Amino acid sequence: MIQMAVLGFGTVGGGVVELIDRNQEVIRKTVPQGIHVKYILDLRDFPDSPYNDRVTHDYQDILDDEEITVICETMGGKEPAYTFTKKALERGISVCTSNKELVAAHGPELLQVAKANNCSYLFEASVGGGIPLIRPINACLTQEDITEVFGILNGTTNYILTRMEKNGLSFEEALKEAQQKGYAERNPEADVEGHDACRKIAILSSLISGKTVRYEDIPCEGISRITTADFGYARAMKMAIKLLGVSRKSQDGSLSVRTAPFLVREDHPLHSVQGVFNGVFVHGNMVDDLMFYGRGAGKFPTASAVVSDVMECAKNIGRNISFNWSDEIMTLSDKAEDSYRYFVRVDDSEAAVAAYTFKAANKVSFEGAPDGETAFVTANMTEKEFAEIAKSFKTIKQCIRLLQD
């Protein structure tokens, strides 16, 4: 038996333990010796859980047990996850994680420690929940120059936007549902303000560049400023509002990376990615466009991705599964030079001059649109040009970028 431990018995950790039990026979077809969860580390006790006898409160119990070859870190957050992960890797114990915060902050360092100790640090579940994405990039697409990766990377916000748009729920109601379903982060601000999607696009950008893209360097906007009226205008334009992470290579090899809400046209496949589902586009110079789609959050989809990593480790005991991700910092292109068309809402008092200055092609309206304002889409312009023009107007109440082809 492969003996393992799970750190953190929350939604994902609980899913990992249950999945390994329920799918043990399936797992044995690939890992014939089977996989057994020997320890569960958590601060709490779980008297009503059938797994309570495996709970320990002392990490040292796990480190000192020489039978343990794999650990699942499903605690989330930087500490103590970072210290626990490093200690395990230094002992040659592989670590599989869903912790995007830790991977985005310390990925290359932990990958180095794993390499030096002939074990692995795997993080399939850190981006896209249950969607196989990291392994395809790291194993099936290494022959490609990947020039673009973008998509819906946060299940909670996509769930909120979908419920608001399709079912007329308020932001608060939709967020509460997402929390009840186990999609949201402990502090949902990380979802709503775009930080979670930003960490995920940082991880993907690092993998396609081979260097470290710091999430602190990525411009990041969330969905908290999106209102019911915006959905009305979006519908009138046959578009949907989606929180996207976008990463594109420029001619000079630099990367342009951004996390923000975007208006997505009806004929774009991301338009129909709804609810907790994520959709991620990858463009390789030879394979052309690929799209990955599946549940981006939730107990079993995320646990499925973690356990796929555990099985990879079980098949590679004593060996390192390597990644092309160095600690050299990747320089991002000047975000002021990114260009878009922008959807803008402005008070009627400034509308005529604003529409003229922004070179708006046509105005947008819908039945029930708020009185006293005008909405339009600007001509294509750089962020710098947009900001310059916007400075001269006092009543701009909304501005959302359009996703370009």
Q: Do 320 and 119 form a contact (C-beta atoms < 8 A)?
A: yes
Q: Which of 100, 176, 181, 200 is catalytic?
A: 200
Measure Cα distances from 183 to 366, 380, 382 in Å. Answer: 33, 36, 35
- Work out whether strand 55-56 and strand 35-41 pair parallel, antiparallel, or are unpaired: parallel
296 binds ligand HSE (CB under 6 A): yes
Query: Looking at beta carbons only, is 284 or 298 nearer to ligand HSE?
Result: 298
Q: Backbone phi, then psi, for 244, in 5-degree steps?
A: -120, 150
Alpha-carbon distance 368 to 296, whole Å?
34
CB of 185 to ligand HSE, least distance (A): 5
Alpha-carbon distance 174 to 187, whole Å?
15
Query: Looking at beta carbons only, is 283 or 295 nearer to ligand HSE?
Result: 295
Which stretch, 104-112, 140-148, 178-186, 253-261, contacts ligand HSE (CB under 6 A)? 178-186
Query: Looking at beta carbons only, is 184 or 240 nearer to ligand HSE?
Result: 184
Q: Angle at Cα 341 formed by Cα 335 and Cα 347, nearest 5°? A: 110
Examine the residue annotation and report whether 397 is marked as an active-site residue of this protein. Answer: no
Residues touching ligand HSE: how many (CB under 6 A)? 11
Q: Angle at Cα 317 formed by Cα 312 and Cα 319, nearest 5°? A: 90
User: Is it true that the peptide bond before 80 is cis, omega within 30 degrees of 0?
Assistant: yes
CB of 42 to ligand HSE, least distance (A): 19
Alpha-carbon distance 38 to 117, whole Å?
22
Closest CA to 378 of 268, 263, 267: 263
Q: Do 137 and 204 form a contact (C-beta atoms < 8 A)?
A: yes
Closest CA to 70 of 321, 295, 324: 321
Q: Show the binding pattern over residues 79-108: x = contacts ligand HSE (CB under 6 A), - = does not.
A: ------------------------------
Structure tokens at 263: 């208006």
Nearest residue to ligand HSE, by Cβ distance, number only:
156
Query: Looking at beta carbons only, is 239 or 243 nearer to ligand HSE?
Result: 243
Closest CA to 44 of 18, 70, 7, 85: 7
Q: Do 177 and 163 form a contact (C-beta atoms < 8 A)?
A: yes
Q: Show the binding pattern over residues 134-173: x = contacts ligand HSE (CB under 6 A), - = does not.
A: --------------------xxx-----------------
Q: Show the binding pattern over residues 180-219: x = contacts ligand HSE (CB under 6 A), - = does not.
A: ---xxx-----x----x-----------------------
As to burial, measured by CB atoms within 10 angstroms (0-12 exposed, 13-18 middle, 19+ buried), residue 405 is: exposed
Query: Looking at beta carbons only, is 85 or 156 nearer to ligand HSE?
Result: 156
Query: Looking at beta carbons only, is 8 or 155 nearer to ligand HSE?
Result: 155
Query: Looking at beta carbons only, is 191 or 309 nearer to ligand HSE?
Result: 191
As to burial, measured by CB atoms within 10 angstroms (0-12 exposed, 13-18 middle, 19+ buried), residue 298 is: buried
CB of 198 to ligand HSE, least distance (A): 12
Site residues for ligand HSE per CB under 6 A: 129, 154-156, 183-185, 191, 196, 296-297
- By annotation, the residues acting in catalysis are 200
